[in-house]
Structure 1
Amino acid sequence: MLRQLSADDARFRTVDFKPGVNLLVADTTETSTDEDSRNSTGKSSLIELLHFLLGARADVKSLPTRKALRRTAFTLELDWSQTPDGRLAVTRSGARPEVVRLNHDIDPDHDVLFDMDGPVDVPNPRWQQLIDRELFGLRADHQGLTGRAMLSFLIRRVASHSFNQATRTHNQQSEADAAANLAYLLGLDWKLAAGYREIAAREATRRQLRQAVSDPVWGRIVGNTADLRGQITLAEDELRRISQQITEFRVVPQYEELQRRADEIDHRIRSLNSQDAIDLRNLGDLKAAVEETTDTAVRYLEPVYRELDILLGEQVRRRFDDVRGFHESVVRNRRRYLADEIRSTEAALVERKAERGRLGVELQTVLRILAEGGALDALTALQQALAHKQAAVQALRHRYDAAQTLESSALEIKAKKVELQRSLAADLGERRMQTEEATLLFSEYAQRLYGHGRSAYLAIEAGPSSLKITPRIDSDDSRGIGNMVIFCFDLTLAVLAHRHGRGPDFLVHDSHLFDGVDDRQLFAALTLASEVSAREGLQYIASLNSDDLAKIERRGYDASEVVLTPRLTDAYEAGGLFGFRF
């Protein structure tokens, strides 16, 4: 049970709770004007502070983190079986919302050298886990269930619009998530109910992927199975080709030296061909020169001179013979020289031809070796290309699997839904005792408010998208009756959870729950809360405006023992919960 709510600000009006019904009443004062309002007295702020001290996540919009309250440390004292005195004081401030101070070390996982009884600071997530364990009996195997989600049913918040419908505590809460936590409180198979949450997550992922496929950029990343199948075929063929090259590859020792030798041979053969061309041209010139070199006759000179009546003497004729002999000697020497040059050129041509033959054979051998293998660097490059291609093929296969999963996921999700719905329906049939207990309690509470002639029950069924829990009261769908549906449903949850050790022993309602409720139903509701609290060992806390309290008191409701001190007022400064306006 909750025992006390206080703060280290002296202006704060400490609230002491007791077993049974506790009514936090907001009064109007004799000096109140039409501009005063009980909506700012702190009734809903009480709810916010309870959530804050029971581990709610705090952000810049949270009440305790506002500038006027940030430095205030609030404390909630509540029953806790693990402490020596059975009580635990929880302190938290908006200045350090990530830390919760406990007046006892209640963490069973703490390994300490000496037992020390005193305040201890714990991170808020750890405090939430302790709440899960102590207040709701949740352990590590209760994946997906949280005490915070269940507390939102037992302490509904106006700021979260939790009074809009009975089976959800805020507008953004998924039906499957709410149903899983409700199933636990009611004693149903929460694991089957939570299965819908996994399916809902898969559906959400599928919708996002389908949108991505339609996007021109993301579509190239996700793709479709037809395109990817063709790309994989081509990529695998290229992968096989590279693998075959590597399999047949032979590393040639001294590959670079052989490559240089091949280049040298090729260069030498080209040089020999060039020299042959020059020598062949020179050989032709030499042969032509030989043909042009002839003996020079001087005998024709004597007849010529005789024709001219010039007689040559013996001395002159001897001179001509000397000249002729010299000329013949020159011609013989030239012919001998040209013959030697021709023989030398022809020999060089023959020698170069032989050298070309030897070089050609060597070049063929070197080129064959190079063609049959390669250098180690070439093999490494092939292996790197193979690795890149393998990675590319693997990526394509992953994309193909994802695309295939996406395209077939709709049928799989539908099949899982049908299977889960069938399993849950069978389980509900086996848990008839739990469903009947919940339905009879809800019906009893509703008929206490509206009479035995009113049909009221809980409809619990396995729906296609979640476990469907629908509280029904035969009515005209007015707002007041809708709020009383929530009252009866919450009271049913609190009783069953506490009765079977799955929840705490308190239930808290904001005054907004009673907006539009007829005074007869309000009287019946608070009377019922008193009886159920006494019978089940529960604590029921509610805030109420004084005029609503006056209406039910005129009907005979005795509020003398249940109204909390202090009573809040709409006095501008000191009348509210915090003792000042902000």
Structure 2
Amino acid sequence: MKLLELRANQSTFHTIKFKDGLNFIIGRRENPLKSDLKKTYNGVGKSLLIYLIHFCLGSRNTKPLTKKLHTWEFTLDFKIKDDFFSATRNCSDPKYIILNNEKIKVEEFNKLMGEKIFYLTDEVTAGLSFRALISRFVRPSKESYSKFDVFHPKEDNYTRLLNNAYLLGLDPYLIERKKNIKEKMDSIKMMMKNYKNDEIFKEYFNVKAVNLDIELYDLEEQIKKLKINLQDFKIAENYGEIKEKADKVKQEINQLENEIILMEKLIENINKSLQITIDVSKDKIIKLYEEAKVQLPEMIKKTLKEVEEFNLFIKANREKRLLEQKFGLEKHIDDKKSKLNELYGEYNSHIKYLKEHGAIDDYVKLNELLNELESKKEKIEQYKILEQEYKAKKSELKIQFEEENKKTQDYLTQITNYLKEINNIFRNFSREFYKDKPGGIEIKNNTKNNKTRFDIEVKIQDDSSDGINEVKVFCYDLTVLSLKQNHKVEFLFHDSRLFTDMDPRQRIVWLHLINEFASKNNIQYIASLNEDMLLSLQDNCSKDEFEKVLKIVENNKILTLTDNSPESKLLGVQIDLAYEDN
């Protein structure tokens, strides 16, 4: 596949005609020496060009164009070997592409291009796609230049590895099988975890050393007993009325018992009062005076006698009154105990009836309890079956996992010479930049418990230095193009972002290398460059060398975009587009 032409239906647009070999799009400032920070190389349309190429090749990110350029349509002409194709896409109707005058859906276009350019069929492993693969030859965004194997920032690790490995000529089915096995292992592990998170199981698994077999036996016994109780259960329609009567009788019993206790306490106090006697008599008083040799007059003795007789009279009346009260209380106690016995009989009769019968609510509750226990029992039985299946499946998948590890190791051993070829191609490219810093591509078998089948490492010694990441990206992309594995792509497009942090001396090496490579291998190399990237080279090489470099660029310049007016930019009009990667 090579690009031929990009055009639009608007006359202001700068049509770009691509050719074999080198193609340079130059971004130039009208006055490069003027220090106007608002005037930069950005915004003239170099990166927009890449976005438009992806738009014509079925990208999904179309909102910026549909919002700002709804009357525009863009056409990309390209060829696949000797077959010519023209793809037109209207910004107001981006769901369709007109391919060679036939209107088809974007999904159909992508499927067709996947078949024609990357040999993608229904039998080829899922995860490979035209859009993902073509982005390996036209990196779509700023993030695409952050690392050699990153083309879409939102691309997951599996899809990234699968598409990269496919273009390196590695077996995609090995990648897919490991991913599928790992997903199955994760799935059954998650299933077990979800089961344990069930509300019923939380009460079991929150307890250490739980024995589910014992729990199952206990549940079976409870269920059996509950079923018998339900079978013998007699529903009383007047259960509530009887219970209300029983409660009322119970209240009366409690009241009588309290009254009896109170009366018995009163009798106890009366008995204590009856035991109280007068300790000092008239004779004792007289004797005390005689012992003191004091003579009491007869009149006083007579008064003492009268007082004594009066006290005896009061005591007799008091005892009579207390005894009458006591007898009265005892009579009341007998009456209340008699009533209490009647109430006991009535209460026991009600309770007996309630024990032999039940309310409909109680019957429903018993049924609910039975259902709950049976549900627990079923859950545990299901879990035990699932646990057995989990252990068996886990063992099976573990065996498969190890078998796949061995198959992959055997596969890498079998293709040792091919792996050396990949490594040598990359080393030959990187050696042009760093003769004293060996580099290479190492592909290893990842045997860890993850979805990654291969570890693909691209290294250049001391690759933390400025500009080396960009060199790695360039050499890796050129290696993929050179291998010609599973694709018919014969072009490579690099944005000026790739060269921003490159050392000027590296840019010189890059230009000579790609010039020679494109010529010898009949490939198309497209790059956008800022003018200052070229001007900065003259301080790092001789005058003759600088002139040679400029001549290569001038002879292969297909478009110059400047900042002096909207007309000199790619669209030919001033329109701010917030486009991102597709």
- TM-score range relative to shorter protein: 0.5 to 0.7
Q: Which deviations, in whole Å up to 9, do the C-alpha atoms of 1:269-305 show, x marking residues without a partner?
A: xxxxxxxxxxxxxxxxxxxxxxxxxxxxxxxxxxxxx
Deviation at residue 58 of structure 1 after TM alignment: 2.7
In structure 2, the CA distance between the partners of 1:459 and 1:121, relative to structure 1 (3 Å rule), is same
- Which of 33, 48, 51 is matched with 2:51 structurally? 48
- Distance (Å, rounded) in 1 between the aligned partners of 2:197 and 2:389: 18
The residue correspondences of 1:88-487 to structure 2 (distance < 5 A) are 88-103=85-100, 119-144=101-126, 145-159=128-142, 161-199=143-181, 201-202=183-184, 205=187, 212=194, 416-451=400-435, 453-463=436-446, 464=448, 465=450, 466=452, 467-487=454-474
Deviation at residue 422 of structure 1 after TM alignment: 2.5
Whether contact under 8 Å (1:185, 1:503) holds in the other structure is no
- Which of 474, 477, 488 is matched with 1:490 structurally? 477
- Distance (Å, rounded) in 2 between the aligned partners of 1:165 and 1:219: 47
In structure 2, the CA distance between the partners of 1:217 and 1:433, relative to structure 1 (3 Å rule), is same
Q: Which deviations, in whole Å up to 9, do the C-alpha atoms of 1:156-203 show, x marking residues without a partner?
A: 1225x1112112223332333222222221112121123333245446
Q: Which residue of 1 aligns with 2:563?
A: 570
In structure 2, the CA distance between the partners of 1:401 and 1:153, relative to structure 1 (3 Å rule), is farther
In structure 2, the CA distance between the partners of 1:30 and 1:59, relative to structure 1 (3 Å rule), is closer
TM-score when normalising by structure 2: 0.62
Deviation at residue 507 of structure 1 after TM alignment: 1.0
Whether contact under 8 Å (1:26, 1:546) holds in the other structure is yes
- % identity of equivalent residues: 26
Whether contact under 8 Å (1:25, 1:543) holds in the other structure is yes
Q: What is the identity, as a one-letter code, of the residue corresponding to 1:78?
A: F
In structure 2, the CA distance between the partners of 1:454 and 1:572, relative to structure 1 (3 Å rule), is same
Q: What is the identity, as a one-letter code, of the residue corresponding to 2:570?
A: L
In structure 2, the CA distance between the partners of 1:211 and 1:46, relative to structure 1 (3 Å rule), is farther
Please give the secondary structure, in 2, of the residue aligned with 1:21.
Answer: strand
- Which of 514, 517, 522 is matched with 1:537 structurally? 522
Q: Which deviations, in whole Å up to 9, do the C-alpha atoms of 1:21-45 show, x marking residues without a partner?
A: 1111100003973212221111111
Q: What is the identity, as a one-letter code, of the residue corresponding to 1:575?
A: S
Q: Which residue of 2 aligns with 1:14?
A: 15
- Distance (Å, rounded) in 1 between the aligned partners of 2:494 and 2:472: 13
In structure 2, the CA distance between the partners of 1:207 and 1:393, relative to structure 1 (3 Å rule), is closer
Q: Which residue of 2 aligns with 1:381?
A: none
In structure 2, the CA distance between the partners of 1:214 and 1:454, relative to structure 1 (3 Å rule), is same
Please give the secondary structure, in 2, of the residue aligned with 1:154.
Answer: coil
- Distance (Å, rounded) in 1 between the aligned partners of 2:153 and 2:401: 24
Q: What is the identity, as a one-letter code, of the residue corresponding to 1:28?
A: R
The residue correspondences of 1:70-89 to structure 2 (distance < 5 A) are 70-81=70-81, 86-89=83-86
Q: What is the identity, as a one-letter code, of the residue corresponding to 2:84?
A: R
Q: Which deviations, in whole Å up to 9, do the C-alpha atoms of 1:436-473 show, x marking residues without a partner?
A: 1111100000011222x221111111113421111111
In structure 2, the CA distance between the partners of 1:217 and 1:168, relative to structure 1 (3 Å rule), is farther
In structure 2, the CA distance between the partners of 1:476 and 1:190, relative to structure 1 (3 Å rule), is closer
Whether contact under 8 Å (2:200, 2:376) holds in the other structure is no
In structure 2, the CA distance between the partners of 1:430 and 1:574, relative to structure 1 (3 Å rule), is same
- Which of 523, 538, 546 is matched with 1:554 structurally? 546
Q: Which residue of 2 aligns with 1:260?
A: none
Q: Which deviations, in whole Å up to 9, do the C-alpha atoms of 1:119-144 show, x marking residues without a partner?
A: 11111111111111111122221122
In structure 2, the CA distance between the partners of 1:223 and 1:25, relative to structure 1 (3 Å rule), is farther
- Distance (Å, rounded) in 2 between the aligned partners of 1:574 and 1:239: 87
In structure 2, the CA distance between the partners of 1:399 and 1:130, relative to structure 1 (3 Å rule), is farther
- Distance (Å, rounded) in 1 between the aligned partners of 2:474 and 2:376: 61
Whether contact under 8 Å (2:80, 2:488) holds in the other structure is no
Q: What is the identity, as a one-letter code, of the residue corresponding to 1:527?
A: H
- Distance (Å, rounded) in 2 between the aligned partners of 1:513 and 1:186: 22
- Distance (Å, rounded) in 2 between the aligned partners of 1:91 and 1:233: 73
Please give the secondary structure, in 1, of the residue aligned with 2:176.
Answer: helix
Whether contact under 8 Å (1:179, 1:194) holds in the other structure is no
Q: Which residue of 2 aligns with 1:316?
A: none
Whether contact under 8 Å (1:456, 1:474) holds in the other structure is yes
Please give the secondary structure, in 2, of the residue aligned with 1:173.
Answer: coil
Q: Which residue of 2 aligns with 1:347?
A: none
- Distance (Å, rounded) in 2 between the aligned partners of 1:26 and 1:148: 27
- Distance (Å, rounded) in 2 between the aligned partners of 1:172 and 1:12: 31
Whether contact under 8 Å (1:523, 1:555) holds in the other structure is no
- Distance (Å, rounded) in 1 between the aligned partners of 2:165 and 2:89: 31
Whether contact under 8 Å (1:456, 1:472) holds in the other structure is yes
Q: What is the identity, as a one-letter code, of the residue corresponding to 2:29?
A: T
Q: Over aligned residues, Cα RMSD in angstroms?
A: 3.9
In structure 2, the CA distance between the partners of 1:401 and 1:478, relative to structure 1 (3 Å rule), is farther
- Distance (Å, rounded) in 2 between the aligned partners of 1:443 and 1:419: 33
In structure 2, the CA distance between the partners of 1:430 and 1:10, relative to structure 1 (3 Å rule), is same
- Distance (Å, rounded) in 2 between the aligned partners of 1:570 and 1:204: 55
In structure 2, the CA distance between the partners of 1:171 and 1:501, relative to structure 1 (3 Å rule), is closer
In structure 2, the CA distance between the partners of 1:459 and 1:571, relative to structure 1 (3 Å rule), is same
Whether contact under 8 Å (1:102, 1:121) holds in the other structure is yes
- Distance (Å, rounded) in 2 between the aligned partners of 1:559 and 1:10: 27
Question: Whose radius of gyration is greater, 1 or 2?
Answer: 1
Structure 1 gaps of 5+ residues are 104-118, 241-388
Q: What is the identity, as a one-letter code, of the residue corresponding to 2:13?
A: F
Q: What is the identity, as a one-letter code, of the residue corresponding to 1:154?
A: F
Whether contact under 8 Å (1:176, 1:196) holds in the other structure is no
TM-score when normalising by structure 1: 0.62
Count of residue pairs the alignment pairs up: 414
Deviation at residue 223 of structure 1 after TM alignment: 9.2
Whether contact under 8 Å (1:506, 1:541) holds in the other structure is yes
Q: What is the identity, as a one-letter code, of the residue corresponding to 1:52?
A: F
